[in-house]
A and B are shown apart, each in its own frame.
Chain A
Amino acid sequence: MKRLWNAWIALWDRREPATALALVRILLASVLLIDYLWLAKLGMVHALYAPPPTGFAVADAVVWYGVLIASLACAAIGAATPLACIGVVVATVQLSAAAPDSEAGSDVLARIVFLILALSRCNARWSVDAWVMRRLGRPLSPDVPAWPRYLLLLQLVWVYFSAATNKSSAAWGPHGGFTALATTLLDPQATWLSPNLVVLLYPLTRVATALTMVFELSAPLYMVALWRDWRRVRIAWLALFFAFELGIATTMTIGSFPFVMLALSPVLIQRLNTRAPANRASSPS
């Protein structure tokens, strides 16, 4: 038992280059920034986040929209990063309360990711923070604690596995003929594809439904493949991941969801590192 516990401690004590965490910070903040700025371009900010008669929100959160944009911009460039990440979480909570039906699963996931990023050293690379610290003669170490990325990795894997185990319709399985994706793609509110094209591609959608279930249910296997360095399994699962998310992004009109998931892909791609911490006496994180 003690050996197990020591192995558990060692696992969460590893360090690695900050590349993946920095990329996630930049990509996720950028995706959300574009998504929310698009609302301003459409002139929909007050409509979405102000109560009647100005808009259709259940509470006034227009100010929080401004806080969110500023926080996302700071997070993207890595300026006062932990504070910016907390700002994103607080602001999206307020926007979610004001417009609960405008929330997607990706918003909940983004909140969790920014909470973890706030506790990480994702600003050790490609950030204003790193530049400022370098100028002050106290450069940030390029090697950072790996545990935030491991947690994000677990979170992503759990999202897919949980999505598979929560699928309650027979249409996702052989008893329902693997028709779930065809049905989803026929919904005129969810896709830009014409129904005729979907009917034409019907056999392909059944294959895609089966592959979706394989991809989601095998998500925990990806963790094992990373751990054991099974290269072929890793590549196969990553190929399914990109096919799945790019497929959603190109065929469906469901907002930023696939782009949020793609923005998180660096945590999947970076391999596990077995390096122990370089300096035990450095500040805890």
Chain B
Amino acid sequence: MTADDRDVRDGMAADGRDVGAAVATRWPHVRAALIALAIAFALIDGLPLPPPADTPAWERGFVDDVRAVQRVALWPVAWMHPRLRIAQRWALYQAPSDHVWRVWLEARLPDGRWNVVYRTDGADDDGYGAILEHGRVRGPLDIRDTPPEQYALLADWITARVLADMPHVTAARLRMERVQLDTDGAHPSGQFAFVHVRERGVP
């Protein structure tokens, strides 16, 4: 260990200054610079650029250039998005759709009739609403144009649960009905999609 090392260990720099005091004096400058950097990265990340698929043709040339510059500028902090799962673009209620989907969870009785176990804004005699309407469970059911990644997994799980809860039914089904929204109210269309059926005894 050199004399300098010993001095630093003892809180004194080689020229006799107090290391703690020196750090404390410099720290506000370093912190202010780090905060300025963090704010700059956040603002660049949060630029309200339209997604590539939704960019109008006339904007594309300009927006694509900005997006490329944004990607380069964010390179030093690019690791944060996948590792910390944070971002600074807040698209809350970006574009409410004039059509939505409502959930139908059904069980097939031994005579072949389908019985509604749960429907959004409708039947819920068996208490599945408490599960399917929970904010965290509802995410996989929040269908826009295509179902979310976990929709098929949730459909598989909930239909298996219906079969386990109701030993007398022969099958369970989850499907989504398109509902049209306008100023007169919500109008169920009778059109179904994203149908998932689980037969008893079939893995």
**A residues bordering B, Cβ < 8 Å?**
5, 8-9, 11-13, 35, 38-39, 42, 44, 47-48, 52-53, 55-58, 89, 92-93, 96-97, 99-105, 108, 111-112, 115, 147, 151, 154, 158-160, 162-163, 165-169, 171, 179-180, 182-184, 186-190, 195-196, 198-199, 202, 253-257, 277, 280-282, 284
Contact = CB atoms under 8 A, between A and B. Distances in A.
Nearest to B30: A284
Contacts, number: 193
B113 interface: no
Interface of B: 20-21, 23-25, 27-29, 31-32, 35-36, 38-39, 42, 46, 48, 50, 54, 83-98, 100-103, 120-121, 130-131, 133-142, 148-151, 153-154, 156-158, 160, 179, 181, 183-186
A93 B87 CA distance: 13
Contacts of B39: 154
B157 A52 contact: yes
Contacts of B186: 186-188, 195
B142 A189 contact: yes
Instruction: Determine chain A's interface SS by DSSP, over half rule.
Output: helix
Contacts of B149: 58, 100-101
A13 B85 contact: no
Contact of A99 (B29, B32, B136): B136
A12 B32 contact: yes
Contacts of B88: 158, 162
Given A52-B156, A101-B140, A163-B93, A183 B98 contact: yes
A101 B139 contact: yes
B96 A147 contact: no
Contact of A44 (B96, B137, B140): B137
A256 B28 CA distance: 37
Contacts of A12: 28, 31-32, 35
Contact of A101 (B85, B102, B121, B142): B142
